[in-house]
């Protein structure tokens, strides 16, 4: 598989992840509100806001002129929602619908998602430097 194809597949994954995740914020609002840590104010508003930004980011990564900025936004958004995943990992008894091991897997997936977002949406700096004799 070529690097360009792998990058496109990564980009497709990022798009699908945030498209379906963003929709989920509106279709399964109660679930998303339930995982917001108690120290975060206005959990319902936070769920709607993050859902909107997930949808905007998903569309943004499809447009070459906005891909870099959308990727940066999704990267930061993913960092911002990480406390919800940590909260689930720390308090699995509050979420009995999933086995406890799944919360550890979620944290690993979060790190892999961050890497995929960055890799598929940010410019290839080393290639650009090499193309310019750097």
Rounded-to-integer distance, Cα 36 and Cα 85, Å: 9
What are the pLDDT digits (tens) for 55-98? 999 999 999 999 999 999 999 999 999 999 999 999 999 888 88
Q: With 70 as the cut, is the pLDDT of residue 34 above it?
A: yes
Average pLDDT over residues 109-129: 83
Quote the pTM value: 0.86
| Cα(133)–Cα(3) distance, integer angstroms | 21
Q: What is the DSSP letter of 2?
A: -
pLDDT at 97: 86
């Amino acid at each position: 598989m070529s690097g360009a194809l792998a990058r496109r597949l990564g980009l497709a994954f990022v798009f699908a992840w945030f498209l379906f995740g963003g929709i989920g914020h509106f279709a399964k609002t109660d679930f998303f509100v339930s995982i917001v840590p108690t120290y975060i104010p206005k959990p319902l508003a936070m769920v709607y806001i993050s859902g909107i930004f997930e949808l905007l980011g998903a569309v943004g990564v499809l447009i070459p002129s906005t891909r870099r900025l959308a990727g940066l936004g999704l990267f930061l958004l993913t960092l911002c929602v990480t406390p919800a995943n940590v909260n689930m990992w720390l308090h699995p008894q509050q979420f009995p619908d999933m086995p406890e091991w799944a919360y550890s897997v979620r944290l690993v997936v979060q790190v892999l998602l961050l890497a995929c977002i960055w890799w598929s949406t940010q410019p290839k700096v080393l290639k650009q430097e090499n193309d310019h004799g750097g």
